[in-house]
Chain A
Amino acid sequence: MSSASSTTSGAAKPAGSTRAKPANKWEQAADWTDGRLGIYSLAKANLRKIFPDHWSFMLGEICLYTFVIIILTGVYLTLFFKPSMGEVIYDGSYIPLKGIPMSEAYASTVDISFEVRGGLLVRQIHHWAALVFVAAMLVHMMRVFFTGAFRKPREINWVFGFLLLVLGMFDGFFGYSLPDDLLSGTGIRFMEGAILAVPLVGTYIQMFLFGGEFPGHDIVPRFFTIHVLLIPGIMLGLLVAHLILVFYHKHTQWAGPGKTEKNVVGMPLMPVYMAKAGGFFFLVFGLIAAVSAIATINPIWAYGPYRPDQVSTDAQPDWYMGFSEGLIRVMPGWEIGLWGHTLNLGVFVPLMIFPLVLVAIAVYPFIESWVTGDKREHHILDRPRNAPVRTALGAAWISLYLVLLVGGGNDLFATHLHLSINDITYFVRVGFFVVPVLTFIATKRWCLGLQRRDKEKVLHGRETGVIKRLPHGEFIEVHAQLPQADLHKLTSHEQPPVFELPAETDENGVAAKAGLIPRTRAKLSRGFYGEGSRIPKPTAEEHHEITSGHGHH
């Protein structure tokens, strides 16, 4: 709307135009813009677009806002940061480093922290926002996963979101590596070792990436380009696509009175969501700024410049890379000699499991829709308890992540809890296989228990806390019928039929054995929906029987 000043010519209407005279300057400006950009048709569909309300929908917003904060602060930092490995002798105001040779990258980061007024704050906001960004993406993704919001028509957007998470993690790693301090250099060394472990081409990739031997002079400028240009560029494109799809599909919503698969109930974009979402951006930014004022993160001046023959003891990656660190720490050091070559399984296996752990979630929507054979659109969310297998799979995945995080922080756990580091490592080696299975079983049972409780509530009402004494002396608690809205909410979920194999013999009596794939599918489907995976919903008849008959208490 700021183009108001440049619109004086817009008033002249061509003869024959039937458009009403604009009422004021603003309308005039809008008319002018519409003539060039067609904003009216766009706004018609979107100005009063309906957004359903639920606190968990804010998680995606946090991702978006932290991304914006990262870009804003990142641009500021590039104005001062020198992505160069050229050697300088430090001569700034931080006394402990005076006279020490270091790279320009490190020196300029120290300068940003101590010489540039507000530079430290911006650096801290950048780093904190990055941590919140990745965390929010992960939690947002869990929200989408556990509620089944990834189902048709949203599978592609799930994949976009997944790519954003992976790119975000890697961009975080590259950014972390730029200051060329002792900790970040150790991270790069780790990456070099991992690349070298790749069979056949490892040494070539290493030489090309580093421009020669480790560490060389090229790695920081190259990472800089990747960190500020390549990855953010791709992410921006994905993000826009993600949001366009969110707009196009409209939000999902929870089941409830008046909410169906064919509508979306909520409040309009203008004004309520503009104010709420716009305001929320400032809340997030404000909080991160305050945290950055209070909590120091990545104090690179305390680590010192990188030297390949030195290391600080608590070498830890940022938390989101912790699980890969866990993988590498708990893997036994297997090396296989092959005709004068070495296959470094101890590093290569973790390097391969790393993407597998991630890709497992990326492909999940497609696996589920194949197993269930469900080809319909879904806009009403599942309560996690009503999809016990999915929920249990998600929980198992998270537990695996946590086990590996323990592996990645085994030294911290050892020192803080006074445990033997070797014991922790052995525990993680076993836990890697066992904990996800146990978590799966426990979560599934828990979901079924909650389903049972829902059924109980529907049939017998809710406990009122009022105790009544019957004439013959027995004490009972009075139960109150649930209101219609709650009855509906608790019974509206689907319990679709299990996918059955076609009969073993066709109508002519000829034996037709199903192939391996349909048989697997039938088995999985039974696992998903079968007897053991759900409590049958209460039926209207059951409800009638209990509410109309005897003992209506």
Chain B
Amino acid sequence: MSHDMSEEKLPESHGSAGHHEVAAHGDPFADPGLPAHQPRRTDIDERAAQRAERQVSLMFVVSMLATVGFIASYVAIDPDKIVYIFPLGHVSALNFALGMTLGVALFCIGAGAVHWARTLMSDHEIPAERHPIEADDEVRADVIEQFRTGAAESGFGRRKMIRNTLIGSMALVPLSGVVLLRDLGPLPEDKLEHTGWREATDVKPLQLINMNTNQPMKAEDVIVGSLTFAMPEGLSTHDEDFQQQIAKDALMLVRIAPEDIKDTESREKGFEGILAYSKICTHVGCPISLYEQQTHHALCPCHQSTFDLADGARVIFGPAGHPLPQLKITTDEKGFLVATGDFDEPVGPSYWERAR
């Protein structure tokens, strides 16, 4: 702490551009030095000082009262009670009372302390010296010498074989930690390529279950211009892996007059103009929920990828990179809509292994 700021480290001793420290005689820009201390009102007027003291104490007292209020609210107010407070509207009375009392209790301590510091504690500005962060040359030379001695005694530089094998072992040992992470999850394998619809076959077709009614659907249930959501038969919201299944299986059904369907392949995969697309956006996987019936455009609310359902769900705007996969549907002998196989391509966001 006692050594001085070494001159060459500081801006003033470098170059001439910023040279203002030495007050050249008659230099109009010279540093006049610290200004004289200006006393505050409370420094000279004892009455003002006493007023400030009372103000500070008052704030601390308000804080005490507020804390008592906090405890009282906690005990007295029913958690279910809703009150109307302008301009907030209907709010939980307990939450409001607790928050306001806690807020006031804390704020007043702070305000009191700050007011105290500003009015009654000394506001004399004092300069303190800085010392350079860098050590001086002597210390530096000393430390480097000591390190060299230590290094020489270890023989680290001389015994190359030890050094190299040490570096090798140190480099490899963290790998154990990485390997230990392996059982965090299964390997991807082909999991992303299939959905719950793969259970469907020609022999055992899967019915499309309406997500709202939980019932199988007939073709006439799907009205032109509406969007219907469906899942495969046999899936229940109470299934252990429901979330995981529905994240891939969710369908949206639209009905478009067959002559308005621009993409013939898409028309053939549908049934009398009913088309079943994956509901999962091909961008990063949000469920698509907005549909505009005049244009047959479906919009993903997350980043606004827009798909033209009349044209094979081609992307017409936004960040999605490819169309929504379409599920081939038909009807069974009782007239219910069914699927007889899986999507032709993986649903949801694309990934490296996905074939294109």
Binding site for B on A (CB under 8 A): 45, 49-50, 53, 87, 93, 101, 114-115, 117-118, 120-121, 124-125, 153, 186, 189-190, 192-194, 196-204, 206-216, 218, 248-250, 257-268, 271-273, 275-276, 278-294, 296, 306-315, 325, 328-335, 337, 340-347, 376-380, 410-411, 421-422, 425, 458, 484-485, 487-488, 491-497, 540, 543-544, 547
Contact = CB atoms under 8 A, between A and B. Distances in A.
B247 A190 contact: no
B32 A485 contact: yes
Most buried by B among A124, A125, A290, A343: A290
B281 to A, nearest CB: 9
B239 to A, nearest CB: 9
B34 A272 contact: no
A248 B1 CA distance: 12
Contacts of A332: 319
Nearest to A198: B352
Nearest to B114: A279
Nearest to A310: B287
Contacts of A344: 321, 349-351
Contacts of B224: none
B286 A190 contact: yes
B38 interface: no
B127 A280 contact: no
B186 A212 contact: yes
Contacts of A484: 28, 30, 32
Nearest to B356: A337
Contact of A215 (B92, B97, B243): B243
B238 A87 contact: yes
Given A114-B79, A293-B103, A313-B301, A101 B238 contact: yes
A346 B211 CA distance: 31
B321 A207 contact: no
30 contacts: A117-B98, A121-B98, A190-B286, A193-B285, A197-B284, A201-B352, A212-B244, A213-B244, A214-B247, A257-B34, A262-B130, A263-B127, A265-B126, A266-B125, A266-B126, A268-B126, A272-B117, A282-B108, A282-B111, A286-B109, A290-B99, A293-B95, A328-B319, A329-B303, A337-B356, A341-B355, A484-B30, A487-B28, A494-B11, A494-B17
Contacts of A422: 317
A309 B27 CA distance: 76
B243 A307 contact: yes
A400 to B, nearest CB: 19
Nearest to A325: B303
B320 interface: yes
A267 to B, nearest CB: 6
Interface stretch (B156-164, B187-195, B256-264, B268-276): B187-195
A231 B184 CA distance: 19
B33 A258 contact: yes
B130 A261 contact: yes
Contacts of A294: 88, 96, 99
B312 to A, nearest CB: 15
A118 to B, nearest CB: 5
B107 interface: yes
B354 A341 contact: yes
B246 A309 contact: yes
A264 B130 contact: yes
B333 interface: no
B319 A333 contact: yes
A342 B106 contact: no
Contacts of A259: 127
Contacts of B211: 309
Contact of B247 (A215, A311, A496): A215
Contacts of A292: 99, 103
B168 interface: no
A117 B77 CA distance: 9
B135 interface: no
A264 B128 contact: yes
A209 B109 contact: no
Query: Binding site of B, secondary structure by majority: helix, strand, loop or mixed?
Result: loop
A211 B188 CA distance: 10
A540 B104 CA distance: 55
B17 A272 contact: no
Nearest to A192: B285
Nearest to B125: A265
B128 A153 contact: no
A487 B29 contact: yes
B119 to A, nearest CB: 11
A209 B184 contact: yes
A308 B11 CA distance: 61
10 nearest CB pairs, A to B: A293-B99, A193-B284, A286-B107, A279-B113, A282-B110, A258-B34, A290-B103, A494-B18, A283-B110, A337-B356
Contacts of B28: 484, 487, 540, 543-544, 547
Contacts of B151: none
Contacts of A347: 283-284, 319, 321, 349
B355 to A, nearest CB: 5
A260 B124 contact: no
Q: How large is the interface on B (under 10, 10 to 19, 20 to 34, 35 or more residues)?
A: 35 or more
Nearest to A332: B319
B136 to A, nearest CB: 14
Nearest to B191: A213
B129 A262 contact: yes
B39 interface: no
Contact of A193 (B80, B244, B283, B301): B283
Interface string B296-328: 000001111100000000010111111000000
Contact of B352 (A202, A290, A306): A202
A343 B352 contact: yes
Contact of A118 (B74, B91, B184): B74
B341 interface: no
A207 B34 CA distance: 65
A283 B107 CA distance: 4
Contact of B117 (A192, A203, A279, A458): A279
A280 B117 CA distance: 11
B24 to A, nearest CB: 8
Question: Which of A93, A200, A276 has the most chain B CB within a 10 Å cutoff?
Answer: A276
B2 interface: no
A497 B15 CA distance: 8
B94 interface: yes
B74 A50 contact: no
B100 A333 contact: no
Nearest to B95: A120
A101 B237 contact: yes
Contacts of B303: 325, 328-329
B216 to A, nearest CB: 18
Which of B110, B125, B238, B286 is packed against the most chain A CB atoms within 10 Å?
B110
Given A197-B284, A258-B35, 20 more contacts: A121-B95, A121-B102, A124-B95, A153-B133, A202-B351, A204-B187, A207-B185, A213-B247, A214-B247, A261-B12, A275-B116, A278-B113, A279-B113, A335-B356, A347-B321, A378-B11, A491-B29, A492-B20, A494-B18, A547-B28
B250 interface: yes
Given A261-B130, A491-B29, A494-B18, A285 B114 contact: no
A496 B302 contact: no
Most chain B beta-carbon contacts within 10 A, residue among A93, A197, A257, A346: A346
B105 interface: yes
Contacts of B265: none
B10 interface: yes
B112 interface: yes
A289 to B, nearest CB: 4
